[in-house]
Amino acid sequence: MPDWVPIADASKVAANSGLTVFVDDLEVAVFRTAGGWRAIEGRCPHKGASLGNGTLSADCVTCPWHAWTFRLESGLAVDRSGVSVATLSIREVGGQLEIDRESLPVRLSSQNAADDDGIQRFLIRYGALGWVGRFGTVDGVACAFRDRVVVQTERGLELGEVLADPAESSAAGEGRPTGEVLRVASADELQQFNQRRQELVSVLISEAADALVQASLPLDIVDGELLFDGQSAVLYFLGKSHPDAGLLVADVARQNSLERIELCPMIEPQAGGCGSCGSGDETSGCCT
């Protein structure tokens, strides 16, 4: 018998885009496609990237990390025999999206999943606000305490600091990693990145703040950071999000030869996530 549970307001998902939600601790990727609503298991089986942040095209989603592509109707991977993600039953009722709990996949216990997945997990500090998460690798990256490492997160390439390696921190029961450890950052990379960051971040904060003031938008830019790819930045704000803010920071991004700037609240709203004030690519909401 179906067990429908509400997960989100349907209006939060724009056409041809996705949303990440959690149902009974399972990450679920929800998409509004030309063919209707689709819901699949939200973590890529390759290395655990969030499929809700993937690229949607022709009823398929492409993983943002390594471009594995999955058919939303069947969950089957394109051109990868035997690989799939679970599909879930989803419906819209009165403007609310609902997932049938009975369609959730049966998963191994977290102990067995951690023991069998072959992923080395590192405790990594990353981001200007000093977030800490468990990052994984299946490639045996040799890094130690306090090493600066390049990591892949949902936001893109970032610089992290190793706080604990697998020998010091048990991986059992930790589930999928926050992101992927790619390599130890070289001295040359760090020097070039730090120079560009010092030159650019204060400029971005100043120009974005001026643009918001001129548009009379109620956002106060208080901090910012450049991601390690050198093409993406994040600006943190206080105040109330506004849909026009994304268009303004997109202009700032273009003026400074960046691919995108995301806006993030310095303090998370108490409910409903960080809203939808927009980002420099003009297609997604604030990062979380």
Q: What is the pLDDT of residues 46-101, one digit of tens each?
A: 877 889 888 998 899 998 888 899 999 999 999 888 889 999 999 999 999 999 99
Q: Label each residue of 239-250 as H, E or C.
A: ECCCCCHHHHHH
- Burial class (CB within 10 angstroms; exposed 0-12, middle 13-18, buried 19+) of 177: buried
Q: How is the beta sheet containing 26-33 ordered, strand by strand?
A: 17-23, 26-33, 36-41
CATH (residue range 4-103) = 2.102.10.10
Instruction: Record the pTM.
Output: 0.57
Give 11 or 165, the one with higher predicted confidence: 11
**pLDDT tier at 280, thresholds 50, 70, 90:** very low
How far is 208 from 109, CA to CA, in rounded Å? Answer: 47
pLDDT of residue 268: 60
C-alpha distance from residue 192 to each of 185, 188, 189, 225, 227 (Å) = 11, 6, 5, 15, 13
Q: Label each residue of 94-161 as H, E or C.
A: CCEEEEEHHHCCCCCCHHHHHHHCCCEEEEEEECCCCEEEEEEECCCCCCCCCCEEEEEECCEEEEEE
Range(s) of the chain covered by CATH 3.30.300.20: 189-265
Q: What is the pLDDT of residues 110-123, one digit of tens each?
A: 444 444 456 788 89
CATH (residue range 189-265) = 3.30.300.20
